[in-house]
Amino acid sequence: MIEFHNVSKRYPGSGDALSRVSFKLAGGEMAFLTGHSGAGKSTLLKLIAVLIRPTNGQVLINNENIGHISRRRIPYVRRNVGIIFQDHKLLFDRTVFDNVALPLVIAGVSHREIGRRVRASLDKVGLLNKEKSLPITLSGGQQQRVGIARAVVNKPPILLADEPTGNLDPELSREIMELFAQFQQVGVSVLIASHDLDLISQMGHKVLTLDEGRMVAGGMHNAPQGEPR
Amino acid sequence: MISPSVYIARHMQVMLATLGDMIRSPMSNLMTIAVMGIALALPTGLHVILKNVQQVTAQWDGAAQISLFMKPSVTDKQADQLANILQKRQDVKSVTRITRSEALEEFRKNSGFGEALEALEDNPFPAVIVVFPTEQSDNLLTVQTMLASFKQRPEVELAQLDMQWLKRLYAIMDFGRRGIWVLAAMLSLSVLLVVGNTIRLAIQNRRDEIEIIKLIGGTDAFIRRPFLYTGFWYGLSGGILSWLLVTLSIWLLSGPVSQLATLYDSNYSLSSLDLLGSIILLGLSIFLGLAGSWIAVSRHLDAIEPE
């Protein structure tokens, strides 16, 4: 589902944020991405969401090299990647329902279908009774769930989460992680950046560890340069 | 990927949603619409007035005439002889005579000073010959040489060309027309900038929303759409407002104008913007609204990229 081959990312005026990273995440596989802050976790997630482009190497999603796709193609790649943000990135002037419906509206899903799928998604995260609420009236954990409902409403094959439990207490964090595990069980590839090592070890999934831009655990051996497979 | 019916439904929904948004914050939107309406009403109104003036003056077109006022000593009979001589000239189409008594009668009837005339012993009016040049000689140069030769005549006290003021009027109207175009171009540009700026502010206000939509896979077209429809609504309502302003102004002017026309023995009435003109006004206004928002959107939307 996700494959990195010798991927490097260098920001102008600084060193390598990622350096020759190679790993593979199969369909229906769940993995944690760990490392100190500044180790390159966010950079790696941004590459998958095509928020940035690799300096070197290949990023494959569904066997498509997204490192060099045209600007016009980017939205369609992003529709296959549900992203959950640490700061939720909800629209505070719209109801929970409208927030969750947004990806479906973008994709041009019919009105009736939207209602059905948004409710299914809200039911999944346990917020069906909050559909008419404004996000501001919800707790941090509930807002995070709204963010998750929005990320999965379009049934993307890939879920990315950037420190999804960063602001939550341990019990809520665990609940959120269990939720991700449920999506993995129905065939979604899930990649979660987190530094909550205790929780990660309890969950018992594949762990990718980054250190100063290098993948020191969980990755693949680098193929010879210029030869992706 | 998206079926046509869903696509059209989406467009209708965005169209109505943007209208709803505008109605929900009426004050700021009304300001923008008012600026557009007034800016467009100004050249349109001037255009309508100029068209009316053109309609009036069209009846006088090619109506060069030379009035020859006889010396007081010239009798009607002598004037008749002169008229016959002039009639035979190649460059003269026709000649009209106004005898001294006719002139007196006309003045008595129309001026309201009839009683003052009773006090005079003599008829103070000279005989007048009005000369109409043929069409071939109805140009400024020929008519002016004719005028010069008439002036040489011993019977003639004063020869007056009644065309020059018309030429001048046409020149002024030409100038006015050009001026209206320049004004219209400048005000259209300002409408474009007003819409562009309003949309730019709207984009900035919804920066977070645009960022999130980009993050979850919204295409540029999807993001652009509500702003373009907002521009469309601005254009439409600005156009309607300017139409109303012009129509109202013409209506206010029509009373005094028909009064004035009555004084000139005419039943002329002021005509307002016709159907074609109205359609052009609305079309131009909508175009300006769309173009302004398009410029703003294409300039500012690319700059918003999610981090």
DSSP label at B51?
H
Q: Among A47, A53, A69, A106, which would you mutate to test the B interface (most chain B Cβ atoms within 10 Å of its Cβ)? A: A106
Place of tokens 């999934």: A205
Check if B224 contacts A (Cβ < 8 Å): no
Q: pLDDT at residue B105 above 50?
A: yes
pLDDT of residue B118: 75
pLDDT of residue B27: 85
Q: pLDDT at residue B167 above 80?
A: no
In this prediction, residues B158-179 reach a mean pLDDT of 81
Q: Where are the domains of chain A?
A: 1-80+157-229, 93-155
Q: pLDDT tens across A82-92, in order?
A: 999 888 899 99
From B9, B209, B306, residue closest to A51, measured CB to CB: B306
Q: pLDDT at residue A229 above 80?
A: no
pLDDT of residue B238: 95
Q: pLDDT at residue B205 above 80?
A: yes
The ipTM estimated for the assembled molecules is 0.88
3-state secondary structure of B132: strand
Of all residues in chain B, the one with the smallest CA distance to A153 is B216
pLDDT of residue B263: 83
Check if B10 contacts A (Cβ < 8 Å): yes
Check if A91 contacts B (Cβ < 8 Å): yes
Q: Nearest-CA distance from A224 to chain B in Å?
A: 32
Q: What is the dihedral of CA A94, A99, A101, A104, to 10 degrees?
A: 120
Q: pLDDT tens across A123-144, in order?
A: 999 999 999 999 999 998 899 9
Check if A88 contacts B (Cβ < 8 Å): no
Average pLDDT score, chain A: 89
Check if A108 contacts B (Cβ < 8 Å): yes
Burial string for A60-86 (b: 16+ CB within 10 Å, else e) reads bbeeeebbebeeeebbebbbbbbbbbb
Decide: B283 and B240 in contact? Cβ < 8 Å.
no
Q: Cα separation of B187 and B182, whole Å?
A: 9
pLDDT of residue B61: 53
Q: Band of the pLDDT at A111, cuts 50, 70, 90? A: confident
Q: Chain centroid to CA B61: how far?
A: 18
| Range in A158-167, B30-39, B219-228 the model is least confident about | A158-167
Q: pLDDT at residue B37 above 60?
A: yes
From A91, A105, A110, residue closest to B212, measured CB to CB: A91
Q: Cα separation of B222 and A105, whole Å?
A: 10
Q: pLDDT at residue B279 above 60?
A: yes
DSSP label at B217?
T
CB contact under 8 A, B1 and A108: yes
Contacts of residue B133, defined as CB under 8 A and 6 or more positions apart, other chains included, come to B64, B65, B66, B91, B92, B93, B142, B143, B146
From B10, B208, B307, residue closest to A108, measured CB to CB: B10
| Range in B112-116, B174-178, B268-272 the model is least confident about | B112-116
Check if B197 contacts A (Cβ < 8 Å): no
Decide: B51 and B176 in contact? Cβ < 8 Å.
no
pLDDT of residue B1: 56
Specify the higher pLDDT residue, B27 or B289. Answer: B289
Sign of CA dihedral B278, B282, B288, B291: negative
Task: Tell me how crowded residue B243 is: count the other CB atoms within 10 A of its CB.
Answer: 21
Q: Cα separation of B231 and A130, whole Å?
A: 35
In this prediction, residues B80-95 reach a mean pLDDT of 86
Q: pLDDT at residue A226 above 50?
A: no
Q: Band of the pLDDT at B282, cuts 50, 70, 90? A: very high
Check if B16 contacts A (Cβ < 8 Å): no
Pick the CATH number of B66-162 from 3.40.920.10, 3.40.50.2000, 3.90.660.10, 3.30.70.3040: 3.30.70.3040
Letter for the amino acid at B251? W
Q: Nearest-CA distance from B22 to chain A in Å?
A: 16
For the domain covering A1-80+157-229, report its CATH number.
3.40.50.300
Place of tokens 């997630």: A45
Q: Among B207, B216, B220, B302, which would you mutate to test the A interface (most chain A Cβ atoms within 10 Å of its Cβ)? A: B216
Output the DSSP codes for chain A: -EEEEEEEEE-TTS-EEEEEEEEEE-TT-EEEEE-STTSSHHHHHHHHTTSS--SEEEEEETTEETTS--GGGHHHHHTTEEEE-TT----TTS-HHHHHHHHHHHHT--HHHHHHHHHHHHHHTT-GGGTTS-GGGS-HHHHHHHHHHHHHTT--SEEEEESTTTTS-HHHHHHHHHHHHHHHHTT-EEEEE---HHHHHHHT-EEEEEETTEEEES-PPPPPTT---
Q: pLDDT at residue B307 above 90?
A: no
In this prediction, residues A185-197 reach a mean pLDDT of 91
Taking CB atoms and an 8 Å cut-off, how many pairs form between chains A and B? 56
Q: pLDDT at residue A228 above 50?
A: no
Check if B217 contacts A (Cβ < 8 Å): yes
Specify the higher pLDDT residue, A181 or B307. Answer: A181
Q: Where are the domains of chain B?
A: 4-60+167-300, 66-162
CB contact under 8 A, A106 and B217: yes
From B6, B211, B215, residue closest to A78, measured CB to CB: B215
From A72, A79, A91, residue closest to B217, measured CB to CB: A79
pLDDT of residue B255: 85
Place of tokens 């009016």: B125
Letter for the amino acid at B240? I
From B10, B216, B219, residue closest to A103, measured CB to CB: B216
Helix (H) or strand (E) holding B280: helix B275-300
For A207-222, what is the HEC assignment? EEEEECCEEEECCCCC
Nearest alpha carbon to residue A50 among A61, A35, A36, A66: A66
In this prediction, residues A108-122 reach a mean pLDDT of 92
